[in-house]
Amino acid sequence: MAGRLQDKAAIVTGGASGFGAGIVDCFAREGARVLVADLDEEGGRAKCETVAAAGGTAVFQRVDVTDATQVDAMVASCEEAFGAVDVLVANAGLGQRPCPLEETSEESFDLQFAVNVRGVFYCCKAVLPHFRRQGSGSIVITASGIALTPRPNLVVYGATKGAVLTFAKGLAMELAPEGFRVNALCPAAGDTPMLAEFMGGQESAEARERFVSGLPMGKLITPEDMGNAAVFLASDAEAGTITGCALPVDSGRCI
Ligand SMILES: NC(=O)c1ccc[n+]([C@@H]2O[C@H](COP(=O)([O-])OP(=O)(O)OC[C@H]3O[C@@H](n4cnc5c(N)ncnc54)[C@H](O)[C@@H]3O)[C@@H](O)[C@H]2O)c1
């Protein structure tokens, strides 16, 4: 039986770890051919091997999304490997250790905006010529629940996610006449390596319990939860008239 993204060529940034790795698995399961794009070469190659072992198709491309030249090369590699660029999942991101605004450094501000916002800008800009040549394409951006309900001590991280959410909605409006869709995922605390950063740099059972108890459904978001939501938004058959949406994947956190 054909998968829900059968033969689509997809780029998943941050695909080596966490939510991105879950999105890669679900895309491959649904028949997509996936370019795993990440700074982490070892993790990215290992992810491609697990996809191949499960019968899917994935290739790795090392990329720093804050570098426009590398992002252009990433998109060219997808075209070269798969002959198309149908879906971009702009998911690579950096978290922040909680701290009051006065203690947030300028370096941290610049780095978070570079990866979480400028990186998304470069990736979206780079896929558009391919979408135009093909006459189709869709973008899914990993924002965050914090873009919908901001939190103290994560003000700058929250601002980056608010920025990409507004970016996604604006771009959705801009591209709607051409039929290209842009949507955002808004996850709550996830069971990924980034969670330790939000716990202050170290995982602990108490901190994990605090995060879990802050979620009405009492469940952290899994990479597979994000993968399933991304498959839906990327599928023209299922979400063909859904654009500019901010989909919470959040155990009820943003109700
Ligand atoms: N984990 C959470 O609690 C949570 C909650 C809301 C939103 N998010 C967002 O989800 C996305 C994925 O986060 P995750 O939890 O899977 O984290 P993660 O740390 O497990 O994965 C992030 C991936 O992005 C890659 N990356 C970082 N900077 C990069 C760069 N400059 N260029 C290319 N790749 C880069 C990392 O190497 C890593 O593989 C991020 O955008 C994050 O902000 C996470």
Using CB distances shorter than 6 Å, the residues near ligand 1 are 13-14, 16-20, 38-40, 43, 63-66, 91-95, 115, 119, 142, 144, 187, 189-190, 192-195, 198
Query: Which tokens go with 51?
Result: 């996809």
The tens digit of pLDDT for each residue in 96-125 reads 999 999 999 999 999 999 999 999 999 999
Spacing of C-alpha 47 from chain mean position: 16
DSSP string covering 102-115, please?
Answer: GG--HHHHHHHHII
Query: Which tokens go with 98?
Result: 């909680």
Q: What's this model's pTM, rounded to 2 decimal places?
A: 0.98
**Which runs of E-coded beta strand occur in 16-155?**
33-38, 57-62, 87-90, 138-142
* Residue 233 pLDDT exceeds 90: yes
Catalytic residue of the set 27, 157, 167, 198: 157
Average pLDDT, the chain: 98
Q: What pLDDT, on the 0 to 100 scale, is given for residue 1?
A: 84
* Residue 207 pLDDT exceeds 90: yes
Atom of ligand 1 nearest to the CA of 114: 31
d(CA 158, CA 40): 24
The secondary element (H helix, E strand) that includes residue 119 is helix 119-134
d(CA 160, CA 165): 9
The tens digit of pLDDT for each residue in 176-206 reads 999 999 999 999 999 999 999 999 999 999 9
CA 216 to ligand 1 center in whole angstroms? 24
Q: Which neighbouring-strand residues pair with 62?
A: 38
Instruction: Tell me the mean pLDDT in the region 201-223.
Output: 96
**157 counts as catalytic:** yes
Instruction: Tell me the mean pLDDT in the region 141-170.
Output: 98
Assign a CATH topology to domain 9-192+223-246: Rossmann fold (3.40.50)
Q: Whose CA is nearest to atom 30 of ligand 1?
A: 64
CA-wise closest residue to 194 among 160, 167, 164, 220: 220
Mutate to test the pocket of ligand 1, among 12, 19, 65, 111 (most ligand atoms within 8 A of CB): 19
The tens digit of pLDDT for each residue in 48-81 reads 999 999 999 999 999 999 999 999 999 999 999 9
